[in-house]
Amino acid sequence: MLFAAAPEKLQTPGVEFSALLPVLILLGGAVLLMVLGALLPRRSRFPWHACFAMATAGAPIISAIPLWFRTRDDGPLRVVADAVRVDGLTVFLGIVIASGVILTCLLADGYLRRERLEGPEAYVLLLLSAAGGVIMAGANDLMVIFLGLEILSIAVYVLAGIHVRRARSGEAALKYFVLGAFSSAFLLYGIALVYGATGTTNLTGIRSYLATNILTNDITLLAGFALLLVGLGFKVAAAPFHAWTPDVYDGSPSPVVAYMASGVKTAGFAAILRVFVYGFSSYQTDWKPIVYVVAVITLLVGSVLAVSQTNVKRMLAYSSISHAGFILVGVQAATERGTRAVLFYLATYTFTVAGSFGVATIVGRTGDNAHALSDYKGLAKRAPLLAFAFLVFLLAQAGVPFTSGFLAKFYVLGAAVDSRSFWLALVAMLSSVISAFVYLRVVLTMYGEDAEDGAPTFTVPAGARIALVASVVATIGLGIIPGPLWDATKTAVRGDGVVATTVDTPTQASSGG
């Protein structure tokens, strides 16, 4: 008599839900808001959609506090079969992304009411996108990075076109979607090539394999590096993958652009740090020259092309490209100081850029079309507090002392000099000088020119007022007292293996690619 062997017990990966709580809160909050939005009236005098979204985005910040101390004391948490890595970097950037969501919600409430677009859809998409960004911040597998990227991107594609009565909004969404699909294809090809060269998509496995094996043919791996950089470079608006940025920023609703330039950019750089600085740490000599060239092109394209712009939103779009170049300077250093500079830059830039597009949201008026430089003439007399807030944000982006932007650029340049990338630091300083001309041009328009006859005055909604005040306080406060944030960046990168202090020497020969 034959007896069938008992089937082996299926092994499933353990999941520590407490470590994934920030992502679960964002996803659960988005679903709950969607359900409540379908049951309750769309229009309400009380902005409950925005308040619910802000509370949902604030909850992950609160839940991240115990994770911060836990990862600081016990090291990184590896969950879902080591596909997700919860460490100081994950928690830090998750808080930055959630802060960007809160600022965007504050700006969006008045905007959506003004444009008669009330409803929960924008906030649901914002929370879903933020969940994808937090997944990217904690991803320890290339496939998880791709999953987070798609969750983040698809929601933002729809957000870009959410102003259904504005043709330029739909055009921006279509352009962003088509080019974003191409960038995702490049990313997938890069993942496939890296898998072919190393036999795994897990970043810890890739790091270990490359540190202990010599690839006799590394063309496949290098091609994978290049394609991964193309896919992620698109998300952070790095040149020459920046072509979508001016048109999409100009056509999309201004509060959505605030999130694109803060939360989406933060998630993109989180993935770049995970993949290159951590996963490919043994091949720094191969990928650092590529990032060096991309950083130079990004710095020059962003600063030089901004000079000829007469539309403030497009000007800020090119400025965002230039800032991406500065952050790439810190990535290229591939040191602890460089990674800390990247984190500091992303945290401070979130408030600065959200405040800048917050001003553009208000000045744009009904229709969101008044973004020409002439619309800012005499703003200091028509709305002195609004003009002062914009002045602070522009000076910070120019790198004026006693603002957070000055220290952000200083830390990045210091990391470049420490890594002996002197010419890159010089290009970054030259780019900053060119950009300063752009920002001062706007300042002179606000303070040095008289408003045209019949120029409107502005009423700042309560939510936008809170966002602008918070952004001004953060921009000036972190410029004067940067210590707590700079110390937090040290905790975020210390002892979690994100930055390799030494590169292991390969000991085992292997043919690859």
Burial class (CB in 10 A: 0-12, 13-18, 19+), 146: buried
pLDDT band at 5 (very low <50, low <70, confident <90, very high): low
From the CB of residue 62, how many other CB atoms can be counted at a distance below 10 Å? 13
What is the tens place of the pLDDT at every residue in 209-221? Answer: 988 887 777 889 9
Count of alpha carbons within 13 angstroms of residue 427, beta-carbon side: 23
Going by pLDDT thresholds of 50, 70 and 90, the confidence category of residue 330 is very high
Q: Are 54 and 102 in contact (CB under 8 A)?
A: yes
Nearest to 346 by CA among 331, 356, 335: 331
pLDDT tens sequence across 397-447: 999 999 999 999 999 999 999 999 899 999 999 999 999 999 999 999 999
Q: Would the pLDDT of 59 be above 80?
A: yes
- The whole model's pTM is what? 0.92
Q: Give the pLDDT score at 456.
A: 76
pLDDT of residue 255: 93
pLDDT of residue 13: 65
The residue among 155, 158, 190, 389 whose CA lies nearest residue 263 is 155
- Over residues 51-62, the mean pLDDT reads 94
Q: Quote the pLDDT of residue 9.
A: 59
Of 18 and 185, the structure prediction assigns the larger pLDDT to 185
Residue located via tokens 């092109």: 297
Quote the tokens at residue 430.
Answer: 């030259």
Q: Is the pLDDT of residue 511 over 50?
A: no
Q: Which residues pair with 215 in a beta bridge?
A: 510
Of 302-311, 378-387, 493-502, the poorest mean pLDDT is in 493-502
| pLDDT for position 325 | 94
Each residue's pLDDT tens digit, 458-509 = 888 889 999 999 999 999 999 999 999 999 999 998 755 555 444 443 444 3
Least confident range of 111-115, 130-134, 467-471? 111-115
Alpha-carbon span 249 to 197, nearest angstrom: 38
Q: Are 361 and 458 in contact (CB under 8 A)?
A: no
Kindly report the number of other CB atoms within 10 A of residue 398's CB atom.
Answer: 21
Q: What percent of the chain has pLDDT over 70?
A: 93
Residue 249: pLDDT over 70:
yes
- What's the average model confidence in pLDDT over 191-208? 92
Residue 189 reports pLDDT greater than 60: yes
What local confidence, expressed as pLDDT, does residue 405 receive? Answer: 92
Among 38-47, 97-106, 261-270, whose mean pLDDT is lowest? 38-47
Residue 70 CA to residue 90 CA, distance in Å, equals 12
